[in-house]
Amino acid sequence: MSLSTAQGHQKKPKKITKVRLKNIGLYYLERYESSVQKLRDVLRRRIDKYAFANPEIDKQSLYALADEVIAEFETLGYVSDSRFAALKVRDYLSAGKSARYIKTKLKLQGIDEAAVDSLIQQSDYDPFEAAKLFAKKKHIGPYRTSSDLKQQNFKKDMATLLRAGFDYNIVCDVLKIEPSSDIEF
């Protein structure tokens, strides 16, 4: 008899084997493009969930199985950091994200910063155009509907662009002002 989650009981996690880890990984990769580190995190979370319910299990041996599965997926071409990074850089640039934002996000995904730098340089990245696109999408700065709102929200718009990772000079150019140090925050 299976325990129901509606009664407040959770089902016991299925036993983790190499075949099960492959199935979990393949199912995840069917739905998402992933970096090696992200796939490793997904598999380790499953292992941790199973190990929590079965404390006598050696997690390290299961982690080693997960690493074997990931290595096999890499040789088969199912998961590739370079492909993942190229797709993400393209998507982030088309969304108007800053180079700093892109580097940070991909570093969290386990992608080498030097690889990200080379991909950004290959893509003809223009920080001014990216900042303009970001401002347009957020309806800030010169893309506000009312000129009164532009003046009232100037500091807020500047802060938004700076938090998004754009340089001060780029932000000033986008907001159509001259860079100066007499602006109060």
DSSP codes joined into one string, 2-65:
PPPTTTTPPPPPPPP-HHHHHHHHHHHHHH----HHHHHHHHHHHHHHHHHH-TTS-HHHHHHH
Predicted pLDDT of residue 181: 44
Task: Enumerate the domain spans of the chain.
Answer: 18-76, 81-122, 127-174
Question: What letter represents residue 34's amino acid?
Answer: S
Mean pLDDT of the chain, nearest integer:
87
Question: What letter represents residue 72's amino acid?
Answer: E
Q: How confident is the model at residue 8 (pLDDT cuts 50, 70, 90)?
A: low
- Name, of 71-80, 90-99, 134-143, 169-178, the range with top average pLDDT: 71-80
Q: What number is the average pLDDT over the span 2-28?
A: 80
Domain 81-122, second-level architecture: Orthogonal Bundle (1.10)
Q: Are 85 and 106 in contact (CB under 8 A)?
A: yes
Q: Mention every residue, 6+ apart, whose C-beta is less than 8 A from residue 157.
A: 135, 140, 141, 144, 150, 175
Q: Is the pLDDT of residue 63 over 70?
A: yes
Rg of the chain (C-alpha set)? 23
Predicted pLDDT of residue 182: 47
If one compares 28 and 180, the residue with the highest pLDDT of the two is: 28
Q: Is the pLDDT of residue 145 over 90?
A: no
What's the rounded Cα separation, in Å, for the pair 120 and 89?
7
Tell me the per-residue pLDDT of 95-139, one tens digit each, with 9 for 90 and over. Answer: 889 999 999 999 999 999 999 999 998 988 899 989 999 988 888
Predicted pLDDT of residue 153: 86
Q: How confident is the model at residue 33 (pLDDT cuts 50, 70, 90)?
A: very high
Percentage of residues in the chain with pLDDT exceeding 70?
A: 89
What's the rounded Cα separation, in Å, for the pair 17 and 41?
17
CB atoms near residue 44 (< 10 Å): 16
Read off the tokens for 167.
């340089």
Predicted pLDDT of residue 179: 45
Q: What number is the average pLDDT over the span 160-167?
A: 92
Q: What number is the average pLDDT over the span 176-185?
A: 51
